[in-house]
């Protein structure tokens, strides 16, 4: 299959951009797959009402069929077609955080979306992205778009056009270039099918932020059943490069220079670089140990580099201290490393 690409950066208002939107819409309406940028990661989109199109998402990604998909919309009115109900409190959260990096799990109204998108559940996750190119595509197409991350399942999620192209060229009809994703980690998923609500997957919208809108609305002690996942990223191994990688802890003193580090990548905050061996490969993960926004933005970029740079034989990524703000970063890092940790004093 020939995969078409479009570069829509600074092109949405041009004649070329309008032609591209029309072509992308035609592909979606015909049952094709197009990967699009969002503020979290790039999504592999298909018409959520078309069973064969959604089946092709699972095939292109090698994704287990019981792993539900998130539906992407451009307007809240679209919820009336496939959501059975939601409370005024949930609407408050939507108004506070949409468009943005949070998905809400809501009761599914059967008969509109194809059954495959929900992974056999009676609920559906839905979000409204804020990325201007992604939103323009959703609005022009005017379909509910099922869109998991546009990568091979189990691998690091894509935050750039090149990440998507490396995994999906020849597997999908099209890929849209929209620069590097601003957030860099997948959306928060909030289960609103029961109260208090439960965070099924952490993301940029934290429990503290939700609590600031609806105090006491999140059950922070909830234990979710990962054998029957209600959101992506719960049951299966995710985000893992093929190159060995571990979490680096206790970086409070210089690492020994007594071995060859020239094939080892260290991703740490800039304020800790001085502790690294001089011949090691250094990547700035963040400005300092409190800079989680940069760390979220850079994590998948670094995981992809571990696989694309053949000179790298081992990676170590700094493990931030657990806080409300670091929850999403640590969730992805623990999955990527298989929760392998090593102290700097053990190297």
Pairwise CA distance, residues 68 & 304, whole Å:
24
Asked if the model's pLDDT at residue 324 lies above 70, the reply is yes
Average pLDDT over residues 251-258: 94
- Going along the chain from its start, the domains and CATH numbers come out as 4-213 (3.90.870.10), 245-346 (3.40.50.11030)
Length of the chain: 347
In the chain, the percentage of residues whose pLDDT exceeds 70 is 95
**Dihedral, 116, 117, 123, 127 alpha carbons, nearest 10:** -170
pLDDT at 226: 52
Label residue 333 by pLDDT band (50, 70, 90). very high
Q: Would you state the pLDDT for residue 325?
A: 96
91-143 pLDDT, tens digit per residue, is 999 999 999 999 999 999 999 999 999 998 999 999 999 999 999 999 999 99
C-alpha torsion angle, residues 328, 236, 94, 46 (rounded to 10): 130
What pLDDT, on a 0 to 100 scale, did the predictor assign at position 66? 79
DSSP 41-100: S-EEEEETT-HHHHHHHHHHHT--TTS--EEE-SSGGGHHHHB----HHHHHHHHHH-SS
- Whether omega before 196 lies within 30 degrees of 0, making that bond cis, reads yes
Q: How far apart are CA 163 and CA 302, in angstroms?
A: 11
Q: How far is CA 182 from CA 69, 131, 207, 298, 328, in A?
A: 21, 9, 20, 10, 15
Q: Are 205 and 127 in contact (CB under 8 A)?
A: no
Q: How confident is the model at residue 152 (pLDDT cuts 50, 70, 90)?
A: very high
pLDDT tens digits, residue range 4-18?
999 999 999 999 999
* Cβ pair 264, 313 in contact under 8 A: yes
Q: Is 196:87 a contact under the CB 8 Å cutoff?
A: no
Residue 159, Cβ neighbours under 10 Å: how many? 30
Q: Is the pLDDT of residue 215 over 90?
A: yes
The pLDDT of residue 47: 99
Per-residue pLDDT, 233: 55
- Answer yes or no: are the C-beta atoms of 284 and 270 closer than 8 Å: yes
pLDDT at 49 over 80: yes
pLDDT of the residue at 239: 78
What number of other Cβ atoms are within 10 A of residue 74's Cβ? 21
Mean pLDDT of the chain: 95
Residues 6+ apart with CB under 8 A from 11: 17, 20
Average pLDDT in the 235-258 region? 87
Containing 318, the helix (H) or strand (E) segment is: strand 314-318
Could you tell me what percent of the chain has a pLDDT over 90? Answer: 91
pLDDT for 180 equals 96
- What CA–CA distance (Å, rounded) separates 305 from 190? 31
Question: Does residue 237 have a pLDDT over 60?
Answer: no
- Supply 269's token pair: 């905050």
**What does the pLDDT average to over 299-317?**
97
Q: Say what the pLDDT of residue 228 is.
A: 54
Q: How confident is the model at residue 225 (pLDDT cuts 50, 70, 90)?
A: low
Q: Are 176 and 48 in contact (CB under 8 A)?
A: no
| Count of alpha carbons within 13 angstroms of residue 146, beta-carbon side | 31
Residue range 300-319: average pLDDT?
97
Burial class (CB in 10 A: 0-12, 13-18, 19+), 36: buried
Q: What are phi and psi of 232, to 5 degrees?
A: -60, 150
Question: What pLDDT shows up at residue 298?
Answer: 98
Count of Cβ atoms closer than 10 Å to residue 72 Cβ: 26
State the chain's maximal CA–CA distance in angstroms: 65
* 295-312: average pLDDT: 96
Which residues, 6 or more positions from 176, have their beta carbon under 8 angstroms from its beta carbon?
5, 6, 7, 8, 20, 24, 34, 35, 36, 37, 133, 137, 161
- Using the predicted structure, report yes or no on whether residue 42 has a pLDDT greater than 80: yes
């Amino acid at each position: 299959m020939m995969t078409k690409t479009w570069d829509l950066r600074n092109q949405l208002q041009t004649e070329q951009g309008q032609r591209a939107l029309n072509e992308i819409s035609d592909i979606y309406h015909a049952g094709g797959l197009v990967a699009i940028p969002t503020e979290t990661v790039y999504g592999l989109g298909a018409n959520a009402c078309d069973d064969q199109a959604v089946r092709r998402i699972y095939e292109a990604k090698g994704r287990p069929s019981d792993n539900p998909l998130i539906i992407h919309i451009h307007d809240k009115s679209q919820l009336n077609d496939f959501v059975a109900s939601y409370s005024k409190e949930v609407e408050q959260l939507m108004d506070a955080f949409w468009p943005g990096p949070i998905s809400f799990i809501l009761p599914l109204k059967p008969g509109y979306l194809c059954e495959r998108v929900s992974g056999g559940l009676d609920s559906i996750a839905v979000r409204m992205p804020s990325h201007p190119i992604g939103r323009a595509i959703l609005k022009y197409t005017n379909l509910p778009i099922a869109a998991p991350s546009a990568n091979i399942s189990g691998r690091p999620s894509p935050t750039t056009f090149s990440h998507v192209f490396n995994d999906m060229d020849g597997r999908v009809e099209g890929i849209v270039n929209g620069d590097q994703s601003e957030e860099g980690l997948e959306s928060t998923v909030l289960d609103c099918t029961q109260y208090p609500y439960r965070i099924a997957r952490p993301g940029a919208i934290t429990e503290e932020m939700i609590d600031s809108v609806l105090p006491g609305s999140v059950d922070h002690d909830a234990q979710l059943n990962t054998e029957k996942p209600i959101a992506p990223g719960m049951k299966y191994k995710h985000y893992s490069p093929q190159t060995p990688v571990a979490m680096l802890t206790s970086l409070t003193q210089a690492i020994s220079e007594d071995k060859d580090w020239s094939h080892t990548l260290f991703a740490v905050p800039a304020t800790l670089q001085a502790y690294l061996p001089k011949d090691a490969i250094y990547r700035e993960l963040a400005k300092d140990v409190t800079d989680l926004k940069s760390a979220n933005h850079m994590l998948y970029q670094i995981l992809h580099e571990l696989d694309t740079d053949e000179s790298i034989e081992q990676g170590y990524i700094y493990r931030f201290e657990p806080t409300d703000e670091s929850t999403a970063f640590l969730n992805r890092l623990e999955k990527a490393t298989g929760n392998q940790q090593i102290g700097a004093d053990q190297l």
